[in-house]
Amino acid sequence: MSEKQNIRTLSKDELTALFIEKGEKAFRAKQVYEWLWKKGVTSFDEMTNLSFDLREMLKADFVFNAVEIAEKQVSSDRTIKNAFKLYDGKITEGVLIPTPNRMTACISSQVGCSLACAFCATGKLDRLRNIDAEEIFDQVVLIKNQAEEHYNTPLSNIVYMGMGEPLLNYKNVLRSIEMITSPEGLGMSPKRITVSTAGIAKMIKQLGDDEVKFNLALSLHAATDAKRSEIMPINESNSLAALSEALIYFHEKTGSRVTFEYIIFKDFNDSLEDAKDLANFAKIVPCKINIIEYNPIDDAQFQKADSEKTDKFAAFLENTFNLIVNVRRSRGKDIDAACGQLANKNKAAK
């Protein structure tokens, strides 16, 4: 017995050819494609405008490899953290972050992570595999449904800031964004999507060559090579000079402003001298800077910077260097859903 094929790996043209081969009308492919991507269904029984026989035929040949919510936690600040179960039993995580002005899905691109950043819970897990494009898409649909069911508000933004390094799963990440933004898919604006990278210079240049329309964020966290290499091993092979060159190239190709993410740690990168280093690096391209409160994880050597010092750091960047700066206060800390905490308590991903 041959193994069933994942139906969401087929293009619309391939679906059309399949239906014609089976003696079905070509427009059936359009109907199925719409169910898959515009309506985001994950079973053939939901395709109610298809005949019973046609649905049974599809069931015999195809599977969905759908993502399920294995566990859900709701924070006191309304943040919702999900443990997503993939078709092979592996677990990844995603978060719905509601704020007064937006409803954001934070989604994962890998099961675990290989980058081993010193401050991140996910970095302490092994990378088990890349997440397929349709599995990334499913995370968005599931969180979108939560936003509507829990808060009666549509999803407004998507950030690829969950588990894993998106640019190490380049093909699947771009395919998922294609279906999220396509009029034949969810139809979201690419300007409402941000892909966050720890900094892989050659892949940032590839984003430029592909002239992507979504936003790019660089997880910087330190603006000297010495400090950055201390907390982010990837900096050894992707220095600040290499990243600077790649970001300039990316901006020239896309015209997009870059976001710099900067987790501020007590007595490590929170001085005004650190702020100067950050400003000097950031000014290479039009940008905005997100200063992020640190969220402690198990066995980590870092502490949250003082709030007063954080505010002075941000004000110094704004007033002295005329930079756009936002201080991101932590959300979902009580359920380990804050930045850097994914998988802090959930060992199922191992």
What CATH number is attached to the domain comprising 214? 3.20.20.70
The predicted model scores a pTM of 0.92
Q: Among all chains, which residue has been given the structure tokens 């979201």?
A: 188
Same domain, 120 and 225: yes
Domain-located, residue 40: yes
- Domain check: are 43 and 134 in the same one? no
SS3 of 273, please? helix
* Mean pLDDT, residues 129-144: 98
Closest to 199 in 3D by CA, of 170, 249, 235: 235
Judge whether 267 lies within some domain.
yes
What is the Cα–Cα distance from 350 to 344, expressed in whole angstroms? Answer: 12
Q: Which neighbouring-strand residues pair with 5?
A: 62
Model pLDDT for residues 83-105, shown as the tens digit of each residue = 999 999 999 999 999 999 999 99
Query: Is there a single domain that holds both residue 337 and residue 204?
Result: yes
Q: Hey, what's the torsion of the CAs at 204, 207, 211, 216, to 10 degrees?
A: -70
Q: Which domain holds residue 48?
A: 11-63
Judgement on whether residues 165 and 28 belong to the same structural domain of the protein: no
pLDDT digits (tens, 9 = 90+) for 244-278: 999 999 999 999 999 999 999 999 999 999 999 99
DSSP helix/strand/coil, 185? coil
Over residues 199-247, the pLDDT tens digits come to 999 999 999 999 999 999 999 999 999 999 999 999 999 999 999 999 9
Sheet with 157-160: list strands edge to edge: 68-74, 80-85, 91-98, 103-106, 157-160, 193-197, 215-219, 258-264, 287-293, 324-328
**Which residues pair with residue 157 across a beta bridge?**
104
Helices and strands of the chain, counted as H and E runs: 10, 14
Residues 18 and 139 in one domain: no
Beta carbons within 8 Å of 160's beta carbon, 6+ residues apart: 107, 109, 166, 173, 193, 194, 195, 196
CB neighbour burial string for 324-344, b if at least 16 within 10 angstroms, e if fewer:
ebebeebbbbebbbbbbbbbb
Catalytic residue numbers, as ranges = 93, 339
Q: Kindly report the CATH number assigned to the domain that includes residue 22.
A: 1.10.150.530
Convert the pLDDT of each residue in 29-57 to its tens digit.
999 999 999 999 999 999 999 999 999 99
User: Do residues 169 and 291 share a domain?
Assistant: yes
